[in-house]
Amino acid sequence: MADTFQLGQTYLWQGRDLQQPGVYVDTFATVVGCDSIYMLRLSSIEWHDTLVCDDALPLHWRGAEFSSESADTLFLHSQSETDSIVVLDVSVRMRPDYSFDLQMLCDGMPYYSIPITDSLRYQWESLPFDSSLVSLSHFAPEVTTRYIFQAGYPDEPSCPIVDTLLLAPLQPIEARLEVQSEWVSDISPDLIAYDRSVNIGWRKWYVNGVFQQCSEQMLQYHSGVQGDSIIVMLVVGLDNCVDTAYYTVRVHHQEMLWFPNVFTPSAATNNCFRGYGVYLQEYDLKIFTRLGSCFWQTSNIDECWDGTRNGVPLPQGSYVYLCRYSTDTGEKHVVYGTVTLIR
């Protein structure tokens, strides 16, 4: 008879425990001398399970080649004509499928990387840092650095893959805005601003929220409106980082102040002396004699000197005046001159 058994197990035959393939003979003796001979041709089945990485194919094993995931059977023939059956079950493990979502942070850590894999089933290691890349990693190289990453399965075979990233240090960007003057006059309301930023690729200008068709380093803008104007400059760096700077330029009224050089108290018009002005914040006018003695003073621009001193008419002649005033920008000015009194 012929039979097979799983190699590594025990085959029970005629009260014997058989553990090796081969031909076995047993004799059964009878009392009448008619012996019976029993023959067993025992073959073995040897089963192997193996898990290999896809880059290990084709797999060569005992003279056979396996090129895909399958279960193949080999028949090994012994000299005793007992066939040994060897079964090799090959399972193929695909290498990790991954990609890097590499982005840059411009306000702190320059780079962060998210390894994207198949449900994050893989062990991630980073060289030379030897840190885990489970979900998020930051890199801030001071010089251009090559990072080596290895991904694989947590059990064997790990089927590792290796990839590299070449990261250059980000150039720090800072938007710097400079204006020619914090105040401009409503008579000539030209705003002039300069870009003093560093490490930028290009810029955009906005005035009061309106985009300006200007990409130059200097912006010149005619306001034409009263009140404040807000200049905003948006700069984009060489690494596409963005920064902004803004400045508020105040548009003020241009002050005007004028004094006549002659007046006649007895005339129907121009019969007193005063200043004429607009957009003045502080005003102080004084009248002096030729000897430098102040005898008349006012802080009201609408008040005028009638050519008298303490109610007594002064003689015809020239008198010195001095006026101190300030503007809505806080600037202080002093004007002086002479006025001729004609009687």
Looking at residue 343, its pLDDT comes to: 82
- Has residue 129 been placed in a domain? yes
58 with 77, same domain: the answer is yes
Q: Is the dihedral of CA 13, 17, 20, 26 positive or negative?
A: negative
**Chain center to CA of 178:** 25
Q: Which amino acid is at 206?
A: Y
pLDDT band at 262; cut points 50, 70, 90: very high
Q: What are phi and psi of 280, to 5 degrees?
A: -105, 140
Cα separations in angstroms, 51 against 4, 136, 154, 156, 328:
26, 31, 14, 8, 86
Give CA–CA dist 227/221, Å, rounded.
15
pLDDT recorded at residue 185: 64
Statement: residue 322 has pLDDT above 60 = yes
Q: Is the same domain home to 10 and 86? A: yes
Q: Positive or negative CA dihedral for 117, 119, 121, 125?
A: positive
Task: Flag whether 287 is in a domain.
Answer: yes
Domain residues for 64? 2-93
Residues 184 and 248 in one domain: yes
pLDDT band at 138 (very low <50, low <70, confident <90, very high): low
- For residue range 6-64, list pLDDT tens digits in order: 777 888 888 888 888 888 888 776 666 666 787 888 888 877 788 888 888 887 777 77
Q: What is the mean pLDDT of residues 218-240?
A: 77
SS3 for the chain is CEEEEEECECEEECCEEECCCEEEEEEECCCCCCCEEEEEEEEEEEEEEEEEEHHHCCEEECCEEECCCEEEEEEEECCCCCEEEEEEEEEEECCCCEEEEEEECCCCCCEEEEEEECCCCCEEEEECCCCECCCCEEECCCCCEEEEEEEECCCCCCCCEEEEEEECCCCCCECCEEECCCEEECCCCEEEEEECCECEEEEEEEECCEEECCCCCEEEEECCCCEEEEEEEEEEECCCCEEEEEEEEEEECCCEEECCCEECCCCCCCCCECCEEECEEEEEEEEECCCCCEEEEECCCCCCECCEECCEECCCEEEEEEEEEEECCCCEEEEEEEEEECC
- In this structure, what token pair is assigned to residue 205? 């200008």
Residue 59 maps to a domain: yes
When the pLDDT of each residue in the chain is averaged and rounded to a whole number, the result is 76
| Residue 172 maps to a domain | no
Q: What is the CATH number of the domain that holds 202?
A: 2.60.40.10
287 vs 103, which has greater pLDDT?
A: 287
Q: Measured on CA atoms in the order 178, 179, 180, 183, is the torsion positive or negative? A: negative
Say yes or no to pLDDT of 75 above 50.
Answer: yes
Residue 85 resides in a domain: yes
Overall average pLDDT of the 166-185 stretch? 75
Tell me: do 261 and 337 sit in the same domain.
Answer: yes
pLDDT for residue 321: 95
* Same domain flag for 54 and 37: yes
Do residues 101 and 113 lie in contact, with contact meaning Cβ atoms separated by under 8 Å? yes
pLDDT at residue 338 in the model: 93
Do 200 and 155 lie in one domain? The reply is no
CB 153 within 8 A of CB 121: yes
Give yes or no: residues 121 and 163 share one domain.
yes
Choosing from 111, 146, 167, the residue where a domain stops is 167
Domain of residue 303, CATH code: 2.60.40.1930
Q: Is the pLDDT of residue 127 over 50?
A: no
Residue 335 carries which side chain, given as an amino acid letter?
V
Q: To which residue do tokens 């008619």 refer?
A: 34
215's tokens = 């990409």
Is the per-residue pLDDT at 283 higher than 90?
A: yes
Of all residues in the chain, the percent with pLDDT exceeding 70 is 71
pLDDT of residue 252: 64
Domain boundary among 223, 252, 281: 252
CA atoms in the 13 A half-sphere facing the CB of 44: 19
Across the range 195-213, mean pLDDT stands at 85
Reported as a pLDDT band with limits 50, 70 and 90, residue 146 is confident
Distance CA 12, CA 269 (A): 145
Among 146, 176, 167, which Cα is nearest to 237's? 176
How many distinct structural domains can be found in the chain? 4
Which of 167, 199, 226 is the C-terminal boundary of a domain?
Answer: 167
Please tell me whether residues 35 and 87 are part of one structural domain: yes
Percent with pLDDT over 90 in the chain: 17
- Clarify whether residues 23 and 11 are in a common domain: yes
User: Do 82 and 107 reside in the same domain of the chain?
Assistant: no
**pLDDT at residue 221 greater than cutoff 90:** no
Whether pLDDT at 80 is above 80: no
User: What is the arithmetic mean of pLDDT over 132-157?
Assistant: 64
- Looking at the domain assignment, is residue 142 inside a domain? yes
